[in-house]
Structures are given as structure tokens and as C-alpha cells.
Structure 1
């Protein structure tokens, strides 16, 4: 038998104590794990076995022991003296490791069956310690109402009966302190915390003492970093940080987020400035708020190229200004050249008004040749948009002149002055990559003959997509769209206010805008639209790639009765989670035509 080893020698983890204080022991264990116990550090010199615990102990401890005490390395790589040293280290470190999961009374047995075989370590973790009693005290808490104290105690994250884990203990204390620091009490402190473990009953008594300090209210806003813009621009986006309001960290974050989402600033940081000597009555302190911003470049030029199965290859040149005419007006303009469509546009967006609404004015020119119909359109419009919670409202007035040419028919010129209202509701868990929730929109607009319009019509449209999580990664999405243009006929109505379907984002398995009303050799818009779609996406574990199966059905026509003969398409696709959201490549079969279509869209900015 190897010198220095005793056969099957039990060893308790800690010296006898009536009530050892765990926070000192856990701290030593955690530091040992983080700083001095790399994975596999004591591998190779022995075989480690876990016995005596229940199924929970096996599930909790086995991954931990396998990580830090990997037995797979060759034992012969160490001589006897080295193995003895590692064994002593293991006997010292194992109790610290087990204590992080609430096992404070382990038994460790060691055996060396022969000189040629590695020693065997057998670990009996003993009972797992649970939380027995929790005491939360608030010192110097004149400004903290009793009901708030009760709510904080009620929200404690490590209640009696739960397993006592070092990580959960630290998280619970942090959450309790954070609840004070982020609402009213910016100077709150954790004065004391103790975890007293009773090995006899395997319970822990937790005591936490906090000092809330005075209640904070917001003082004046101090702005640092403005060069091109003035304070009035900040005030247009500031809805939450006002002098005299109770301190809420979420209000500061809301202002910071609002500014970072504008075209004016590349960064924004909002912080409370509590200082000694701030004005206060002993229970309330008024502290100023400092906003530090960094302005973006006022002018930007961009180029890009891409390809879409709808409109073909494209190149694009864009110009943006965040300070048009030195008035903080945002200009967005560009030229996009595609195989089937060419577009030029320019839009001017004003900063938000006192109610948070944003006004814009713009114009565009568009020429296209799709499904046998050549269109040129010129448009001018004004838009007022406002976000209220998860709902965005847009009010607009648009004047459009359209010239339409179909082979074999005379060229027609149409016009329409159209007021429109649109509501968009977004309630999803992730705007770029949703797994649950809904996105819905509804709009209504129309024109009156004689008021810069060639036909009376009322256009109604609704669209919704719902997402359902399946398991840990998969997603089921259902999409539906209905539209109707109420008019005596489609004559005199520009194509933008009628409906065509087919292609990416509509009914896959059919070419872009190929589903509509036949007029000569062309497909033109109809007065009614119906589209339904279902898609199931399976994301591959630990990968940005996924595969999808889908079924689409839809059509556009002048007769709602024809909705019973919807064009159906179905197929399979590949998904890739890019930084801009999932990109899709789909291969779809159109049941009505018997054709197979490839649908995808890729754009690369330069």
C-alpha cells in the first residue's frame, strides 16, 4: 500500500462547530474554484466515485465533479509522490466544491489497492442543506414605507425550503438590493449578510440587513456633449426624466434608449449624480441627472447591392442627413435600380413634437415592368406617426399620378388623392427574431372622384402574423391577410390601391405578383385579396441554421366568390439567423401552375 494513504479512511468536511457560518466557507470555496481550480486540475492521479446520495445529488454533483475532477487522463503520467500530493489537495478542495451546492457534511474515503493502480476516492455528499429561516432587516429606514418593506420581503428569491446554493444566495441578495437601487433608493447599501448552517438539521438560517438611505427625486438635467444641436432637441425625446419626479432607473434607461434610436446620436449615457450636500429634508434627496451624448456624423452616403427573387438584382445609392438646413431635420433619399423596378425617393422627417408625434413629407418616383404591365408612378405625401406602447398609428395624405401601359392597349393615366389611417400592433418577444407573440396591422383609406381622383373608392386591408414557440427552439408561425377595395369597378383606381399576390412574403410557389386579374397578356390588381400561410421552423441545436416547411394559399380577384379557388403553394426552406434577422431561401411548388419557384432575398450594404 502506498505510503501516506490510509485504506478507506473517512474524513469529515469541516471541524466540529455548533453553527458554522457558511458565507466565509462558501467564499473560500468559490474563490478556490474561480482562481485555483481549473477544470481537470486533479485529474489522472485517482478514480473518483460518488455514492450514498440520492438522485438529486447525482444530478447536481456529477457534472460538477466531472468538470473539476476529470478521471480520463492517464494515471501513469504522475509518479507516486505527485499522486499523493494531488490526493491531499483533492481531500482539501472537495468539501469546498460540494459546499457550493449545499452539501456541508460530506464523507471522503480513499483507497490505494496497489502500487500500479490509481487511488480510489469515494465521496458520500451527505444531506443537502435547505433554507430554514430568512430574516430581512432594514436599518435607518425612515424613508422606506412599511408596505414597501413587506413587498421586498415577499419578493425574496431564496425562500424557506429551497436548496441552499452559493450562487442562489448571492443572486437573492443582489436582487433584493437591486429592487431598492433601481426605484427611489439610489444610495441603498447591503450592511450585513450571514448564512448559518446547522449540520445536524441540514438547514441554513439566512440574515440580511440593508440600509435604504434617503429617498431620491430627480433634479435638473445636465447635458454634456452637444455641439451641433441644442437642448431643445433632447427635450423632444425626453418623456421620463423630469425634475421632481421620483427616481426610477427605468426612466433614465428610457431616455437613453430613445436617444440612441435617433439618427442624431451614436451614444447616450444617463446617470444620477448623488452627492454629499444635495438638497433634502433628511428623508428625501434631490439629485441632478447627467446626460452625456456623442453626436453622429451629420451626413452619410451609402451604397449596396443585392438580389431578390421578386424583382431581381439590384444596386442602390443612398444619402442621409441628420441636420438638413441646420434644423435637425432628417433627410433620407436614394436611388434603387432593380431588374424589374427602378425607384427614386426623398423623405424629410421632423423631430417629435411635444406629444411625441413625428411628422414627415416626401416624394417618390417608381417605374416597373412586372407581369406584362408597365407602370410609372409619381407621388407626394405627408405622414404623421406616433408610437403609444406597442401600437403605432400613422395618418397620411398621399397624392399619386400613375401611367399604365399594357401591350395592345392604350396607355392610361390615373390620379388619386388619398387620406389613409394605419395601426400597427407589435407584441412579440423579439422584433428581429420572434418566437412568440403577434404582429398585426390594419389600415383604411380612400378617394373621392372630383377631388384629384378619377374614381370613388374605399380601401380596407388587414394583416396579422402570430408566432408560437414549440419546444426549446422550434417556431410555428401563422399568417393571414385580407383586403378589399370597395368601388363600382377597378377602372380609374391606381394599382397601389388594388391587390396582387404571389412571390416572397405572399404566396410562395408563384412568381411575383402573378396572382391577380388577367387583362390581355398582363396581370393587374383586383379589388379583393385573401392570403393564408402556415410555417414550421426547426432550428438546429447550437447553430444559426434552421429548416422550414410551409404551406401558402391566396389570390387576388374582382370577385370574392373566387376565393374558394385559392392558389396553393408549399415547400421547404433553409433559414439563417443573421444579425439583421432570419434570412430565408425557399423552394416552393405552385399547385395551380405545376411550377417550382425559388424564393429568396439577400442584400449587402457597402
Structure 2
């Protein structure tokens, strides 16, 4: 009987006390120390919380591990219970200070500027509080940088972090011998259907250049971006290494399908429901020429385009493009059948700007209000554009900007009914504060320098209003009108947007905005404003925007307009 009672007592002591619905409270600890303790304790299931001595011992062990990782080796940890909860009061104590940092580099890496920058940016400094994470980050940073820059024989001869807890001092010793840097060897190309010289023009390094992993990534990116291949593999040819510090490269390519067909349906409040079909031949011949065509159909407009692209020496950034476009429009007071035949020459400048020189032939048969005519024009032009994204949250840019400017001219001595100088410019900016506050600003200015607006067709005139212009106003409903009150289009247009967005949760954002602008000809502009709010969802295929806007004048009758769009802001 005594043995049985003793067994029952031992069994009861092993059962955690107050196991169910026990709360855990941490007192006095704040900032980074509190965050690290919370991280370490998050591995414990709340259902395991109790006030037992065994659980307290387990908790104390994890808290000490969390604080030691941050350089605090002498915490004072006290427990007491309150009702159904366990309260932990933690005093961090004095931190361990880095007394000595001994970093010795040998080999070719000693003269590498990137290594110097890495050491300068390290949080490990004599006199600072020891952080084990910073030590591991520096050690792995040296190793990863060595691999990324071709120091494949590098190794640590000494990697040591010594701590004297009784003195609250730490001593760091990192000795790394990089050896010699490897260089790019010959690049072999296997598979593919494009001329080898065309493929080699996409290689961003020369044989004999110092190895860098970014060069491999850039080559992979270049080959994929051509659209010529369904599979791209770029890797060192390890079977051909002979110990001389030269790294041969092997490129393996699989041709893309010669014909690619895409169909889709969409909706925007500007044109309503629409259907589209795209047919593309990513490579027509071994020279890498390509063909693309698209058909987009909605109630007010139908658009068909056909394009043929001829790559030059820099296949990605320099090319000729011939494009034929046909557009039928029946919207507001505009009825138009427009045809464009355009020849373009594209460059990427060293400054990062994309430059396009073009000449296009335009034929348009139209009725604009009470005006009917058919016109043809020849329009040489030049355009520049640049997009820069500095920071992204998944698919959503958090910091970046875009600029574009274009100029087209026409002369009445060359087919055109009138001389014209047509200029358009736009800039857009995205900025953010933290991860939950985002701002967007846009400004667009356009001008037609022509004597009489009726001497140019509706496709060259300006109309404001709509999803990407003036929210709160119908699509292309803002322009001068004739004596019958019908839209005739404008010589000038200016529109702008200021928008603030707040992250509600995850990929959902709330937006408030103001749009302003006008389209005018002879008189000065009468600024029109649209105010509203909306919802943003960052979908897998791009941002989706739903806006509710009110025009702030009699022209819009202060009625609610709903705007729905899909696509990037920049």
C-alpha cells in the first residue's frame, strides 16, 4: 500500500500544473531583446504553457539562449504566478562588449573593393555589444562574396569567437585565405536554333574576365528575355577544368515553340468588357526575327496590330520594328477608322534611357461631332522613356519612377494637310514610408502646335477623363465642344494625380486620391478635379484597382463614377 501511494505521488508531480489555459507574461524586457526572446519562445506551443517547475526550467533555458545570442550572458530571470498565468520578470544585466576584432585576409581578395565595403558595413566594431548573429553574418558574408566573385579555393584558417563571460568581453578572430580568383574561360553553346553569333552577342562578359556570379545571372536573364528559348541553362563546365584558374562555361538551350497563341477576357470602366487574342512567333528564322499580332475587341473600340521585329547587334535593346495597326472607334462624339503603318528604330542608351526614332503613315476616316473628313499624314518622331524600380514588395513597386517624352512632326508639304508639332511628356513617382504607407504621383502634359484643330484627325487630338486620366469623369469626355455641345478635341492637355495608399492587410490596400486637369484649345484651362477612394489588390498577375470618384464641378454633375483597372502604375 505504501509503495502504491508513493507511485501516485511521483506520478502527480510529473503532471504539469495548470496546463490548460495558462497565460505567459514577460515583464521589463523591451526592444530588440524582447523581440528575440519572443522569437525563441514562439517555438513553444501555447498549449504546453504551465506553472510547473519543469516548464519554468525549459522557459529559462530558452530565454538565456535568446539573450546570449544578443550578447547578454548574465540575465536575472524570476518567475511568479498570477491567477491562471505565469509571469516572467527579466533583467538583462550587463552586456558582453567586443574587446578585439582580428580580421586577416590573404590571397588575391585583399585588394577587392567589395570586401572592403563588406567589412566597413559590418555591425561588428570594437566597443560595441556582441551579437552572435552579426558575427555569423560577417563570416557567411565573406564566404558568399568569395564564391560570388570566383575565389573558389578560399577557406578560413581561423574562425573563432571567444567570450569571457566573467569579464563581459568578446574576442573575434577571422583569418581568410581567398587564393587566386578564377576567370571566365571559353563559353560553349549547345542546342538552340538561333545563329551562334547572335546568341554570343548576349554574353555580358569576355573570355579572360574575372569570374562573377552576376555575369552568369545576367546571361541567363538575357537569353530568357529574347523569347527565343523555352529553357535556358548556364553553368560552369566542371569536366573541362584543368587547374589553371580558368572556368569554362556551358550554355544549353531548348527552342521555344514557333507559334504561341493566347486568349483573354478583361474589363475596364473606360471600354467595358473586352476580349483579346494574341498570336506570336518568337522566332521566324535563325537570325532571331520575330512576329506578333493581337486583336482586342470591346463595344466602343476594336484594335488589330501586326508587328515584325529585326534584332541588331544588341538583340535585346537595339532592333528595327515594323508595325501595322488598325483601330475602329465609336465612342462619345467620335466615330473613326484609323490605320497606322510605322517603322521604328530602338536603342538603349548608356544613361538608361530607351530611345526610339520612328516614322509613321496615318490614314483616318472620321466623324467628330458634326465634322466629317478623311486625312492622311506622315509623322516622323522621336521618343525617350525610362523606368526605374528601386524597391519592391513582391510584385508591388514601393519606390521608383518613370518618365517618357515624345515629339512628332508633320509638314503640309509632305502629304499632311497642315504643319504640326506634337509633344507629350509624362512622369510618375512611387514612394513609401515603411511597409504600410505608399504614395503615388503622376503628371502629364501634352500639346499640339497647329493652327487649326480641325486640320488634324481625332486620334491626334486630346481628350481627358477616365481611369488613367481624370477619375470622376467619363472616358475621354473632357474637351472643348462645338456650337452643338459636341466634343471636338483639344490642342493641349494637362492632368495630374496625388494618391495615398495604406496597407489594410497582406496584399490589400486602401487608397485616397485627387485627380486634376483639363483639355483645352484657345482659352486658358479650367481645372477640373476628381476626388475619391478605392481598394487595391496586388494579384498574381498585377495590381487590381477599384476606385469610387466624384467630379467636383457642374461638368461632372458631382455624380459617382466607378473605375476598375488592371495593370502597373509605372
TM-score norm. by structure 2 comes to: 0.86
**Per-residue deviation, 1:153:** 4.0
8 Å CA contact retained: 2:549, 2:560: yes
Structure 2 counterpart of 1:382: 343
Other structure's SS at 1:404 match: strand
CA distance in 2, matches of 1:194, 1:42: 43
* Match 2:226 to one of 262, 265, 276: 262
8 Å CA contact retained: 2:109, 2:115: no
CA distance in 1, matches of 2:524, 2:386: 30
CA distance in 1, matches of 2:418, 2:97: 77
**Per-residue deviation, 1:378:** 0.9
Structure 2 residue ranges without an equivalent (≥5): 1-8
8 Å CA contact retained: 2:334, 2:458: no
* Residue 286 of structure 2 corresponds to residue 312 of structure 1: no
How many residues end up aligned between the 2 structures? 546
CA distance in 2, matches of 1:557, 1:360: 34
8 Å CA contact retained: 1:587, 1:596: yes
Structure 1 residue ranges without an equivalent (≥5): 5-40, 77-82
**Per-residue deviation, 1:385:** 1.7
8 Å CA contact retained: 1:365, 1:379: yes
Other structure's SS at 1:172 match: helix
CA distance in 1, matches of 2:500, 2:188: 51
**Per-residue deviation, 1:390:** 3.5
Structure 2 counterpart of 1:398: 360
Structure 2 counterpart of 1:63: 38
Other structure's SS at 1:555 match: strand
CA distance in 2, matches of 1:494, 1:458: 14
Q: Deviation per CA, 1:332-352: give whole Å up to 9, x if none.
A: 102111100011111112234
Structure 1 counterpart of 2:451: 488
* Match 2:310 to one of 344, 350, 355: 350
**Per-residue deviation, 1:392:** 1.3
| Distance of aligned partners of 1:88 and 1:483 in 2 relative to their CA distance in 1, 3 Å threshold | closer
Two-structure CA RMSD over aligned residues (Å) = 3.4
Higher relative contact order (CA 8 A, sep 6+): 1
Other structure's SS at 2:396 match: coil
CA distance in 1, matches of 2:503, 2:116: 44
Other structure's SS at 1:523 match: coil
Other structure's SS at 2:455 match: coil
CA distance in 2, matches of 1:120, 1:585: 48
| Distance of aligned partners of 1:544 and 1:54 in 2 relative to their CA distance in 1, 3 Å threshold | closer
Structure 2 counterpart of 1:11: none
* Residue 170 of structure 2 corresponds to residue 204 of structure 1: yes
CA distance in 1, matches of 2:84, 2:462: 80
* Match 2:201 to one of 233, 236, 243: 236
Q: Deviation per CA, 1:73-100: give whole Å up to 9, x if none.
A: 5649xxxxxx566566556665444432
**Per-residue deviation, 1:66:** 4.0
8 Å CA contact retained: 2:368, 2:487: no
**Per-residue deviation, 1:187:** 3.5
**Per-residue deviation, 1:552:** 1.2
CA distance in 2, matches of 1:543, 1:253: 30
* Residue 441 of structure 2 corresponds to residue 478 of structure 1: yes
| Distance of aligned partners of 1:521 and 1:318 in 2 relative to their CA distance in 1, 3 Å threshold | farther
| Distance of aligned partners of 1:73 and 1:150 in 2 relative to their CA distance in 1, 3 Å threshold | closer
**Per-residue deviation, 1:413:** 0.8
CA distance in 2, matches of 1:511, 1:371: 9
CA distance in 1, matches of 2:369, 2:388: 46
8 Å CA contact retained: 2:355, 2:384: yes
* Match 2:386 to one of 413, 425, 435: 425
Q: Deviation per CA, 1:459-494: give whole Å up to 9, x if none.
A: 111111122324432222221111111121123223
- Pairing 1:153-232 to 2, within 5 Å after superposition: 153-224=119-190, 226-232=191-197
Structure 2 counterpart of 1:586: 547
Q: Deviation per CA, 1:99-133: give whole Å up to 9, x if none.
A: 323233346678999xx999987765543223222
Other structure's SS at 2:344 match: strand
CA distance in 1, matches of 2:108, 2:426: 54
8 Å CA contact retained: 2:318, 2:347: yes
**Per-residue deviation, 1:250:** 1.8
* Residue 469 of structure 2 corresponds to residue 506 of structure 1: yes
8 Å CA contact retained: 1:268, 1:294: yes
Other structure's SS at 2:215 match: helix
8 Å CA contact retained: 1:42, 1:70: no
* Residue 211 of structure 2 corresponds to residue 247 of structure 1: yes
CA distance in 1, matches of 2:202, 2:469: 37
| Distance of aligned partners of 1:274 and 1:204 in 2 relative to their CA distance in 1, 3 Å threshold | farther
* Match 1:135 to one of 98, 102, 111: 102
**Per-residue deviation, 1:573:** 1.3
* Match 2:70 to one of 89, 95, 101: 101
* Residue 377 of structure 2 corresponds to residue 416 of structure 1: yes
| Distance of aligned partners of 1:200 and 1:418 in 2 relative to their CA distance in 1, 3 Å threshold | same
TM-score norm. by structure 1 comes to: 0.81
Q: Deviation per CA, 1:519-538: give whole Å up to 9, x if none.
A: 44532321111112211111
